[in-house]
Structure 1
């Protein structure tokens, strides 16, 4: 479980996050949604301790994010940010191998290699593991980054807009892989999404944010309704019955 208790982060007199008090359940996918500037990515990076908080507490699996030793925290929670600056002349396997650093400190064991192979296979990258990153399509490269995070083998995985720059087909493929990771590998995945319909279809829980605060939290069945989404996104939205569940329609 991820627990945020009265968390604040202030950037200026007019820009701030919080107060945020929230419990994200263990297991499944929790999607963070909301308009630009709502605080989704900021909250995710605070949970992953890539950004400090001004007050309050954040715990992941009972560990205080602010005080837990970095090498121990890296075995509890992993995070993939939007901006990835790895050298392009790395192969897919070399990139995924970086996910084992908290465990191996660069000296890969047979167990590490097995986990790397498992992560590569899980993201259907077996035929590409010898390819360099600059030889991959955007969708393939994004899958390689996610495989690296899965190879870190943490129970909690934080992903900041992993669908960014992916077309519809590759977005569906990515979300399908993440759904499998949550179900088959028993991971707790927290993901920032811009498309509310991807959240409604794939997530187990939706956290809707606005103006630096959590305004709604619950199952897709609860969050996917006209009034809540219209309020969160500040534009008229109707939710209709789609062939595989509710769909939000903007007008």
Structure 2
């Protein structure tokens, strides 16, 4: 479980995130949704200690995020930021191998190599593992970064807009991979999403944010309603019955 108590980040007298009190259950996928500027990415990076808090406390599986040693925290939670600054002369396998650094300190053992191979296979990257990152499409490169995070072998995985720059086909494939990671690998995945319909279809819980605050938290059926989504996004939203569940239609 991830627990946030009174978490706050101050940017100015007019702009702040929080205070946020929230419990994200262990297991499955929790999607953070909301309009631009709602604070989704800031909240995610504070959970992963990539962004400092001005007040409050965050615990992941009982570990205090602020005080736990970095090398220990890196064995509990892995984070994929929105901005990936890749080195072009790095192969897919080399990149995924970086996920083992908290365990191997750069000296990969046979066990590390096996874990790297499993992550590569899980994301269907085996045919590409010898290719350099600048030889890949945006979708392939994004899969490689997610494989790196999975190779870190943490129970908790934080992903900041991993569907950015992916077309519809590759976005669907990515969400299916993450759904499998939650179900088959037992990972707890917290993901920032812009597409509410992806959240409604693939997530187990949805956390809706607006103006730096958590305004709704619940299972998809509780969040995917006309009233909730219209209020969160400040625009008229109608939720209709789709072939595989509720769909939000903006008008």
Smaller-chain TM-score range? over 0.9
Computed over aligned residues only, the root mean square deviation of the Cα atoms, in angstroms, reads: 0.3
Equivalences for 1:27-42 in 2 at 5 Å? 27-42=27-42
Cα deviation, residue 88, structure 1: 1.1
Equivalences for 1:214-225 in 2 at 5 Å? 214-225=214-225
Equivalences for 1:44-193 in 2 at 5 Å? 44-193=44-193
Secondary structure at 2:182 match in 1: helix
**In 1, Cα distance between equivalents of 2:54 and 2:233:** 27
**In 2, Cα distance between equivalents of 1:231 and 1:7:** 23
Cα deviation, residue 239, structure 1: 0.2
1:117-168: CA deviation from partner (whole Å, max 9, x where unpaired)? 0000000000000000000011000000000000000000000000000000
**In 2, Cα distance between equivalents of 1:124 and 1:6:** 41
Secondary structure at 2:183 match in 1: helix
Cα deviation, residue 115, structure 1: 0.2
1:73-127: CA deviation from partner (whole Å, max 9, x where unpaired)? 0000000001111211100000000000000000000000000000000000000
Secondary structure at 1:170 match in 2: helix
TM-score normalised by length of structure 2 = 1.00
Cα deviation, residue 228, structure 1: 0.2
Cα deviation, residue 247, structure 1: 0.2
The 4+ residue runs of structure 1 with deviation greater than 3 A are none
**In 1, Cα distance between equivalents of 2:199 and 2:85:** 27
**In 2, Cα distance between equivalents of 1:91 and 1:100:** 15
Aligned to 2:237: 237
**In 1, Cα distance between equivalents of 2:7 and 2:136:** 40
Aligned to 1:7: 7
TM-score normalised by length of structure 1 = 1.00
**In 2, Cα distance between equivalents of 1:247 and 1:49:** 34
Secondary structure at 1:88 match in 2: coil
Structure 2's unaligned 5+ residue stretches are none
**In 1, Cα distance between equivalents of 2:18 and 2:82:** 22
**In 2, Cα distance between equivalents of 1:108 and 1:88:** 21
**In 2, Cα distance between equivalents of 1:82 and 1:102:** 21
